[in-house]
């Protein structure tokens, strides 16, 4: 049985938000902006607060958005392209709002750059972006744009608090914002069932075109509650108390100061009563919230039961997602165990004077079969993880990659050789050219190259740790396999193949020597039973004599013994 407390957070959060300092300071800033700058020229007012806070209050120009519910594609506004991703390559924004934003672009750009620089200081301020009605829409758009310049992992996130703000964009915009996992909590929208302006774009004709994102503080004369359920919020804007919504001049602003004070008093008096009876705790909690925001009355109706059913479904989905997150944590722990088992397998293979690649390729005992199971689990996990990151917006994906790219690189260098071994064991001829290389290996390699620039000279630390390293090029063994095939072609190939193969073998030689020079190859390639040592023996048998090269001289002079200790210095 799910406890009622688990799903009563809407009321509790509502009470908490009502009494929070940022919301009250945001409203004070909105009123101050209206008093000193009623025509919103300039568009915003910057207020420096004590306790290291900056409040940017956007005003409402003397124009109305009434009847201007038209949407326009984001492709016409490149400043917001960073929000797009593969699943949602385009979204739609209210045309009147984005036009207003564009008309003040130069001033807003200066403000954005200033706030981004402030966020990089040793003691970054808390930045609150606020506005009412049109100012609320501009505040939302500006906050989205501002977040592009913030490293949300290292600094305080800005908080956007709006009042009376209509929705900004469509379902695709909502999904784009949700892809930034830390951004949803940056937006708080305060609305009242008595306020007409938040519903401007939510007529019956446009229902479904606009979708909300962020947290909404839903206020009524009965109380308040918070919600993030987009379907419930959308329906509330169209149907709930539409007849009782007051008609007011939106430029004068709805008096949220009085509403907030009244609701705070009611919260202190604990006027809410839980609904019991035969309903389960989840339904009782939902009805309590609906009563608090004035959506339903004590007398139930079919419409009420339908709404409760939808909200119950939404809360259940959240619980399922939480359970999935728990499963993901368990899965991550399982992957760590798989990697630890592969590390043990690698060390055990070395003790047998054969690298783990060649031992797995031969699959001579039960432990090799177990390794195949570890490989499959790891590949499934990382394929899913890379796909998730690839579908994220560019900036969010970049932050995410930095966090786990080291783990992904270690996985790629450990596991791709096993995948290559299976490919050639099954008769494959050219792993890379045949297009058989899994996409997630390619992406992990590309992301690492973008992040790390190659060193011209290996550091002392890199040389000294080479004994425990993996091959930096996870396709090294594929190149070795293909070099062995080339040796066969030199002997038994066609006339054309016999001419081509020696040249390609020299290219492979240069590749190996260059990798050694950068200490980018594991000393395991020099183990007696390794495929590389077998290739070297075959190569010496097919190359025309006398023949000398940097690689052959390196091996002939047994410099690989000093290399294994990190002591060889290449000329």
Q: List the structure tokens of 197.
A: 């302006």
Residue 302 has pLDDT above 80, yes or no: no
Output the pLDDT for position 1.
Answer: 33
**Which residue(s) pair with 127 in the sheet?**
54
Strand residue runs (E) in 205-331: 215-219, 224-227
Sheet holding 126-132, edge to edge: 44-49, 53-58, 126-132, 159-163, 187-192, 215-219, 224-227
Kind and range of the H or E run holding 477: helix 476-492
pLDDT band, very low/low/confident/very high, at 535 (cuts 50, 70, 90): very high
**Do the beta carbons of residue 421 and residue 360 sit within 8 Å?**
yes
User: In the block, which residue shows the tokens 């305080």?
Assistant: 156
pLDDT digits (tens, 9 = 90+) for 445-466: 998 888 877 777 888 999 999 9
Cα–Cα distance for residue pair 42/59, rounded to 1 Å: 8
Distance CA 56, CA 60 (A): 13
Give yes or no for residue 241 having a pLDDT over 50: no
Residue 546, preceding bond cis, omega within 30 degrees? yes
Cβ–Cβ under 8 Å, residues 412 and 474: yes
Handedness of CA 349, 353, 356, 362 (dihedral sign): negative
Give bridge partners of residue 377 from the DSSP assignment.
none
d(CA 321, CA 374): 27
DSSP 8-class letter at 148? T
Chain mean position to CA 92? 21
Res 41: pLDDT: 76
- Two tokens at 175? 């999904």
Cβ-contact 126, 54 below 8 angstroms = yes
Q: Which pLDDT band, with edges at 50, 70 and 90, does 301 fall under?
A: low
- 368's CB contacts (< 8 A; 6+ apart) are 359, 360, 362
- Choose between 16 and 100: higher pLDDT: 100
The pTM (predicted TM-score) of the whole model is 0.60
Q: What is the C-alpha separation between 210 and 69, in angstroms, rounded?
A: 9
Condensed to tens digits (0 to 9), the pLDDT of residues 499-523 reads: 999 999 999 999 999 999 999 999 9
176-195 pLDDT, tens per residue? 998 887 788 899 999 988 88
Query: How far, CA to CA in Å, does 407 sit from each of 181, 292, 463, 474, 524?
Result: 21, 48, 21, 14, 21
Instruction: Please give the Cα distance from 361 to 355 (Å, whole number).
Output: 10
Residue 390, pLDDT > 90, answer no
């Amino acid at each position: 049985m799910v406890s009622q407390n688990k799903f009563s957070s809407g009321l509790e959060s509502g009470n908490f938000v009502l009494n929070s300092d940022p919301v009250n300071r945001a409203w004070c800033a909105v009123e101050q902006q209206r008093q000193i700058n009623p025509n919103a020229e300039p568009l915003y007012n910057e207020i420096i607060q004590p306790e290291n806070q900056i409040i940017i209050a956007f005003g409402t120009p003397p124009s109305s958005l009434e009847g201007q519910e038209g949407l326009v594609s984001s492709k016409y506004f490149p400043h917001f392209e960073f929000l797009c991703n593969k699943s949602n390559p385009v979204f739609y924004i209210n045309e009147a709002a984005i036009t207003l934003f564009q008309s003040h672009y130069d001033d807003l750009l200066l403000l954005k750059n200033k706030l981004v620089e402030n966020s990089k200081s040793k003691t970054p301020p808390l930045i609150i972006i606020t506005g009412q009605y049109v100012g609320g829409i501009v505040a939302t758009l500006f906050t989205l744009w501002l977040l592009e310049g913030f490293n949300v992992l290292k600094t305080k996130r800005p908080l956007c608090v709006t009042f009376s703000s209509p929705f900004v964009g469509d379902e695709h915009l909502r999904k784009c914002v949700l892809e930034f996992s830390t951004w949803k909590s940056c937006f708080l929208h305060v609305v009242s069932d008595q306020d007409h302006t938040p519903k401007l774009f939510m007529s019956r004709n446009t229902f479904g075109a606009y979708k909300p994102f962020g947290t909404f503080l839903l206020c009524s004369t009965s109380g308040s509650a918070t919600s993030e359920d987009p379907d419930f919020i959308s329906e509330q804007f169209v149907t709930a108390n539409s007849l009782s919504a007051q008609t007011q001049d939106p430029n004068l602003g709805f008096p949220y100061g009085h509403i907030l004070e009244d609701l705070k008093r009611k919260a202190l008096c604990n006027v809410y009563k839980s609904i019991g009876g035969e309903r389960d705790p989840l339904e009782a909690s939902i009805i309590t919230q609906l009563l608090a925001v004035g959506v339903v009355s004590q007398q139930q109706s079919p419409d009420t039961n339908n709404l409760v059913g939808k909200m119950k479904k939404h809360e259940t989905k959240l619980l399922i997602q939480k359970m999935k997150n728990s499963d993901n944590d368990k899965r991550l722990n399982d992957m760590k165990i798989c990697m630890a088992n592969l590390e043990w397998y690698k060390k055990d293979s070395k003790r047998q004077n054969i690298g783990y690649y060649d031992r797995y390729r031969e699959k001579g005992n039960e432990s090799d079969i177990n390794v195949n199971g570890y490989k499959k689990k790891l590949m499934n996990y990382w394929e899913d993880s890379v796909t998730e990151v690839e579908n994220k917006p560019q900036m969010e994906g970049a932050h995410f990659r930095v966090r786990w790219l080291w783990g992904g690189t270690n996985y790629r260098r450990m596991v791709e050789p096993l995948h290559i071994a299976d490919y050639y064991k099954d008769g494959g001829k050219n792993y890379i050219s045949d297009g058989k290389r899994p996409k997630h290996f390619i992406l992990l390699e590309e992301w690492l190259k973008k992040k790390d620039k190659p060193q011209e000279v290996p550091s002392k630390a890199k040389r000294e740790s080479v004994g425990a390293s993996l091959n930096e090029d996870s396709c090294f063994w594929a190149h070795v396999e293909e070099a062995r095939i080339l040796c066969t072609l030199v002997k038994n190939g066609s006339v054309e193949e016999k001419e081509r193969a020696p040249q390609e073998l020299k290219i492979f030689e240069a590749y190996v020597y260059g990798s050694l020079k950068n200490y980018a190859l594991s000393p395991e390639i020099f183990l007696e039973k390794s495929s590389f040592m077998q290739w070297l023996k075959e190569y010496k048998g097919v190359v025309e004599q006398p023949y000398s090269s940097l690689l052959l001289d390196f091996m002939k002079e047994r410099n690989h013994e000093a290399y294994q200790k990190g002591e060889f210095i290449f000329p």
